[in-house]
Amino acid sequence: MNLKEKVSRILMELDRAYPQSHTALHFKNPLEILIATILSAQCTDKQVNEVTKGFFKKYKTAKDYVETALSALEEDIRPTGFFRNKAKNIQQCCRELIKKFQGKVPQTLEELVALPGIGRKTANVVLGNAFSIPGIVVDTHVGRISQRLGLTKEKDPVKIEFALMPLIPKEKWILFSHQVIDHGRGLCTARAPKCPSCFLLPFCDFGNQEDRGRGGSKK
């Protein structure tokens, strides 16, 4: 099976297993998903949702974040970890939103990544979830699983993104990202992946190497 056929089969299996995949972060508007994504760095989505449940009632606009004392913002997001750096990035980002975009979240990757603390991963999360603009989100799950499946040998997230873009149909970029993240959380975990139970095992370089290493054979 060539790479194109392999990708087609992988996408078919992902659609079968995760037909309704979507972000686990709770949000009601573009600014909320932007802030939630910043908070999600080195933090679980579940914990972020616990924090933002009351947080988004207090901070409704970019101006609210900017006008709040940095120390107060830090305390509000402390449970997400790395709160000092996150609070600083949030305030700097919101200042730029006010200065350049009247407090609104822009709808292009180029404008988003120009904001303080915003990389391609966060930008693609915002574009896909807030505006339905296609982008491949390369987080730790997407990076790891893409390598294990043999879709790329790159290790840098940006290089992985560019390697995947010609392989995955553009109209599936958003869903593909969500599906692979779900798969990484449930089956293809970083440690002790559940290879024998994985429906992608027939297409997985890593899983088949592990099987051979145990002296097993596929049936």
Active site residues: 121, 139
Count of alpha carbons within 13 angstroms of residue 24, beta-carbon side: 13
Q: Which residues lie below 8 Å from residue 117, measured CB to CB, with a gap of 6+?
A: 38, 88, 89, 90, 92, 93
Q: Which residue has the tokens 């991963």?
A: 121
Would you say how long the chain is, in residues?
Answer: 219
Count of alpha carbons within 13 angstroms of residue 57, beta-carbon side: 5
Q: Which residues lie below 8 Å from residue 119, measured CB to CB, with a gap of 6+?
A: 113
